[in-house]
Structure 1
Amino acid sequence: MHTFISPCAASLHGVLYSDDEIVYEFPLLASCCFAHLCLTNINAQTKKIAGWANDVLQSPALKNAHAGIALYDPSTGKFLYQYQSDKFFVPASNTKIITLFTALQHLGDSLPAMRYAENDTAIFIKGMGDPSFLYPDFTYQPVFDHLTKTTKRIYLLPAVNDNERYGPGWGWGDYADYYQPERNEFPLYGNVAWINYDKRGYSVAPSFYHHPDYFQLQPDASAGSPVAGRDERRNFFYLRYRPGDTAKLEGEVPYITGQLKDIAARLQDTLGKPVWTGVSFPANASIRTMYSLPADTLLQPMMHRSDNFFAEQILMMVAAKHWDTISTHKTINMMLNTSLKDLPDTPQWVDGSGLSRFDLFTPRDFVSVLEKMYKTYSREKLFPLFATGGKGTLRAYFREHPGTVFAKTGTLNGVVALSGYLLTEKGKTLIFSILVNNHHTTSTNVRRETEKFLMNVRATY
């Protein structure tokens, strides 16, 4: 049904049409009043949103920062508010939204763990980048179970891996920080040494690194809280603590992944049996793929706790699944030339996690990708993948209204980002992206301002 109002000055009536007949005629004056009332309401809402946005932009937390805001209604296909939404910003971990979209489109239901072939005496295996292998959070380990049970000789083969261990633009000084493990084709234990300490003592996993050649206890009566670390150039770890301290430490210290022989040595220690290295699959071998976890099992923690390692390995798994070469660059180019070729602004995208400051996206780019997912996947599948009020990286925000914001945070020094879905009091689902660069305050101060803005929109729109 459509409304047409005659532009003719002599016309005295507006007419409401169905597809093939006049349903009702009404005085033009009434229709104009109705249209004027609707326009007035829309303008009032728009002015309110603009006013709230201005309050955020002029707040002490953002006044001297660079910011972009996009607020979009997918039911009408129109933006409710935009401020510098076509400008490029460093998005930090909002990049994981793009990684999530890539995974949903290309990984399928389960994670590709390894390619393998077997004959009467041996099993030949090649990594596909699966980060869940022996990761402590995941008890289901089909690859480990298979390799443990086999009585055949195990040969680890090299994958064609074009990736360097760190992504473009990553901070080299973060080599020992939990959030920046190295990337490789056959991760074990999340590519970190798990060094835990409490009043009962300490533990190191993998046990491979609990050896004097790799690990040292450093009791120090003047030490503060216990801390675990690693030498910059070698896999030598330490635990510094104050004797008698009852504080608790759950340390994750990235190790240097090294070459194929180093991966084989870690795998051999874990399996408790020899692991040889090989060159290639035997001629005429039947090569199969073994899968591990359901994909959502990895995607949810990747988004909820902003897991950089999972995000990086996801783009590598996509490449391993499609080609013989593991290459984040190839995965990114594939997406930019297919599913993301119609983005409003062509981004600069270099990694899966957003650790790199080379990544550049606009707010309306994120709105576009979020809308693609919203139209493709059910709310029951999509929304649980994002953190919500009081949970994950939003555990300190939107607590009074849980289940109304489903979003991804992003944080680097001077960078705060938040993009996702907002459910309003009137039953609307809106899509938003707020990117802030070069702020000179705490990320908490910036997040509180964006929280006020979104809660005002929620209560009114």
Structure 2
Amino acid sequence: MPTPSRRVPIPLLVLILATASLAAPAAPKAPAPPPKPKGLDRAQLAEELRKLADAPALRRARVSVAVMDLSTGEGLFDSNGDQPLIVASNNKLVTTAAALELLGPDFEFRTTVSACGKVLTNGVLDGDLLLVGRGDPSLSGRFHQGKTTAVLEEWAAAVAQAGIKSVRGGIVVDETYFDRQHLHPGWPPNQFQAWYSAPVSALTFNDNCVFVTVRPGARPGDTAIASTDPPTSYVDLVTTCRTTKARLGGNQVLVSRRKGENRLTISGEIRAQGAPLQMWITIHEPALYTGTVFAEVLEAKGIRVGGPVRLLAPPQRIEPAAARELITTTSLLKDAVTVANRNSHNLYAELMLKTLGREKGGQGTWVAGAGVVEKFLRDAGVTGAISYFDGSGLARTNRFSARQLVQLLGYANGRRWGALYLRSLAEPGEGTLSRRLDSLKGHLFAKTGYIAGASALSGYLETRAKRLLAFSILVNDFRSALADVRDAQDAICLKLAEYSGAE
């Protein structure tokens, strides 16, 4: 006979089940693993960069690469990082950092116009006008809506406001703030007429160049029409260039100047239907150029200058009491830094270097300026041998390693002027990066550099993970096309942007 089952009342069953659930809680869930960081960790980045540093375009070249994470101060990658190489215009990174540190962003370049002599009752200045230059690079149309003579017209207005209607003497130009070595001995001797080799003077106007335009004549066979901006008698235009009836092909126009002269010879052929040829050509004796154009501006305003434009040559000097200041125009160092870095303007960098020499080394010379900059680099913690000779990097004797430039960039990032320095560098789509690395716009701030056989790219890069890196990629003695070398440098930058910050 089967044993009868024992029935449990329903309320008791609920109590038993509830008690059991309290006595035996469920095991806690394991914590979810942290999300895997996006991008490349440090080891992955180094591996990718090693591959890119061995790209076909860089093989058989000398390459120096260094990268630092500025949030930690640690090096992320180094390939031949201590190898000194030609850095070309990356030299401007050094020059502008030294200028910002030692002179300050608000340092003023000053140019003064004074009257030497008495102004007679009939408005005649019984003496000379004196122009004193102190290294101002901005006496051009660059900051004046493209009007080349805008500053000189301000000077002329000040002369008129002083009651001067004519000048019995001439215009004396004083460039003694610097020495008279206008061309650096390390620059290519056959490139003196190119804008990037402009002579360096304490009294500088229009980048010490004229802007030459050559247009076809009215009919085939006619002589081409040449002009300059500013229009000036300081240069002598000799044109043998002929207008041709050719419909296709480029113009074959040559504009040349002999060293030590201001005679421009325009030869060759230009198509009747062709576009004008335009180019910048340097001039000889910048201070005399400035004074001559100023005299022409005065004449155009109805103020006649009776005497010649002449240099104030040591040991000649004019006592301050003998000169009555009419106007002083100024420009700021921080604006010059932006032009030097973003547009890679050589003359701006050289004027800064000689100003450093004058203000901090006692002499407005390349040698004094270089000594000041070398001391700055040592104080900034840059290690290793330093070979620094000019401000722009046009001299092939300048040498830095990628590691040294990264040390400098790291130092600059911690200074009060660091943000201004970073913003002075080109971004993709502007300046010397106008056609490079568009996808990194707003995240890359860099200085390019090129002279024959040397290509450089150094600066700052913000990664997708918001890490700020300092980097330098120097390439010398390459045998590939320059475009291929730049592509290889750009590929390294694009890979740097993928760094996550993870170990």
Output the TM-score relative to the length of structure 1: 0.81
The alpha-carbon distance between structure 1 residues 380 and 72, as it changes in their structure 2 partners (threshold 3 A), is closer
The alpha-carbon distance between structure 1 residues 316 and 269, as it changes in their structure 2 partners (threshold 3 A), is farther
Task: Give, in angstroms, the shift of residue 97 of structure 1.
Answer: 0.5
CA distance in 1, matches of 2:404, 2:108: 27
Contact 1:93/1:408 (8 A) holds in 2: yes
Q: Indicate the SS of the match to 1:352.
A: coil
Q: Indicate the SS of the match to 1:376.
A: coil
Match of 2:242 among 219, 232, 237: 219
CA distance in 1, matches of 2:320, 2:428: 55
The alpha-carbon distance between structure 1 residues 227 and 49, as it changes in their structure 2 partners (threshold 3 A), is farther
Q: Provide the aligned C-alpha RMSD in A.
A: 3.2
Moved more, 282-291 or 390-399: 282-291
Question: What is aligned with 2:155?
Answer: 146
Match of 1:132 among 124, 135, 138: 138
Match of 1:229 among 242, 255, 262: 255
Question: What is aligned with 2:343?
Answer: 305
Unaligned segments of structure 1, at least 5 residues? 1-33
Question: What is aligned with 1:434?
Answer: 473
Task: Give, in angstroms, the shift of residue 220 of structure 1.
Answer: 4.9
Q: Deviations over 1:368-404 (max 9, x none)?
A: 2212221114665333211111221111211122111
Alignment of 1:158-237 (within 5 A): 158-159=175-176, 161-162=178-179, 164-197=181-214, 202-209=226-233, 213-221=236-244, 224-225=250-251, 227-233=253-259, 234-237=261-264
CA distance in 2, matches of 1:101, 1:224: 43
Alignment of 1:53-452 (within 5 A): 53-105=49-101, 106=103, 108-114=105-111, 121=118, 123-136=129-142, 138-139=144-145, 141-142=150-151, 144-150=153-159, 151=164, 154-159=171-176, 161-162=178-179, 164-197=181-214, 202-209=226-233, 213-221=236-244, 224-225=250-251, 227-233=253-259, 234-239=261-266, 240-257=268-285, 264-272=291-299, 273-274=304-305, 276-277=309-310, 278=312, 279-282=316-319, 284=321, 290-322=328-360, 325-338=363-376, 340-341=378-379, 342-377=381-416, 381-452=420-491
Quick one: percent identity of the two aligned structures? 20
Task: Give, in angstroms, the shift of residue 267 of structure 1.
Answer: 3.9
Q: Deviations over 1:420-454 (max 9, x none)?
A: 00100111000001111100112211111121122
Task: Give, in angstroms, the shift of residue 59 of structure 1.
Answer: 1.4
* Structure 2 letter corresponding to 1:304: R
Task: Give, in angstroms, the shift of residue 107 of structure 1.
Answer: 5.2
Moved more, 65-74 or 238-247: 238-247
* Structure 2 letter corresponding to 1:134: S
Q: Indicate the SS of the match to 1:187.
A: coil
Count of equivalent residues: 422
The alpha-carbon distance between structure 1 residues 125 and 422, as it changes in their structure 2 partners (threshold 3 A), is same
Unaligned segments of structure 2, at least 5 residues? 1-32, 119-127, 218-224
The alpha-carbon distance between structure 1 residues 286 and 248, as it changes in their structure 2 partners (threshold 3 A), is closer
Task: Give, in angstroms, the shift of residue 177 of structure 1.
Answer: 2.0
The alpha-carbon distance between structure 1 residues 343 and 306, as it changes in their structure 2 partners (threshold 3 A), is same
Question: What is aligned with 2:48?
Answer: 52
Larger radius of gyration: 2
Contact 1:90/1:437 (8 A) holds in 2: yes
CA distance in 1, matches of 2:281, 2:467: 44
CA distance in 1, matches of 2:254, 2:426: 29
CA distance in 1, matches of 2:322, 2:376: 34
CA distance in 2, matches of 1:78, 1:454: 18
Q: Deviations over 1:22-78 (max 9, x none)?
A: xxxxxxxxxxxx9xx9xx99xx83332222222222211001100011100121111
CA distance in 1, matches of 2:234, 2:185: 32
Task: Give, in angstroms, the shift of residue 352 of structure 1.
Answer: 0.7
Task: Give, in angstroms, the shift of residue 229 of structure 1.
Answer: 1.8
Contact 1:132/1:138 (8 A) holds in 2: no
Contact 2:133/2:177 (8 A) holds in 1: no
* Structure 2 letter corresponding to 1:331: G
CA distance in 2, matches of 1:191, 1:79: 42
Contact 2:243/2:272 (8 A) holds in 1: no
The alpha-carbon distance between structure 1 residues 174 and 118, as it changes in their structure 2 partners (threshold 3 A), is same
Task: Give, in angstroms, the shift of residue 294 of structure 1.
Answer: 3.1
CA distance in 2, matches of 1:118, 1:235: 28
Contact 1:113/1:143 (8 A) holds in 2: no
Q: Deviations over 1:342-371 (max 9, x none)?
A: 311231000011001100111111112212
The alpha-carbon distance between structure 1 residues 401 and 337, as it changes in their structure 2 partners (threshold 3 A), is closer
Task: Give, in angstroms, the shift of residue 210 of structure 1.
Answer: 7.8
Contact 1:93/1:410 (8 A) holds in 2: yes
Moved more, 240-249 or 131-140: 131-140
Output the TM-score relative to the length of structure 2: 0.75
Q: Indicate the SS of the match to 2:337.
A: helix
Match of 1:455 among 463, 472, 494: 494
Contact 2:360/2:372 (8 A) holds in 1: no
Q: Deviations over 1:203-227 (max 9, x none)?
A: 312322587x443251253783264
Moved more, 214-223 or 446-455: 214-223
* Structure 2 letter corresponding to 1:129: G
The alpha-carbon distance between structure 1 residues 338 and 59, as it changes in their structure 2 partners (threshold 3 A), is closer
The alpha-carbon distance between structure 1 residues 119 and 414, as it changes in their structure 2 partners (threshold 3 A), is closer
Task: Give, in angstroms, the shift of residue 285 of structure 1.
Answer: 5.6
Moved more, 200-209 or 59-68: 200-209
CA distance in 2, matches of 1:104, 1:197: 40
Moved more, 81-90 or 226-235: 226-235
Contact 1:157/1:280 (8 A) holds in 2: no
The alpha-carbon distance between structure 1 residues 237 and 107, as it changes in their structure 2 partners (threshold 3 A), is farther
Task: Give, in angstroms, the shift of residue 168 of structure 1.
Answer: 3.3
CA distance in 2, matches of 1:447, 1:419: 12
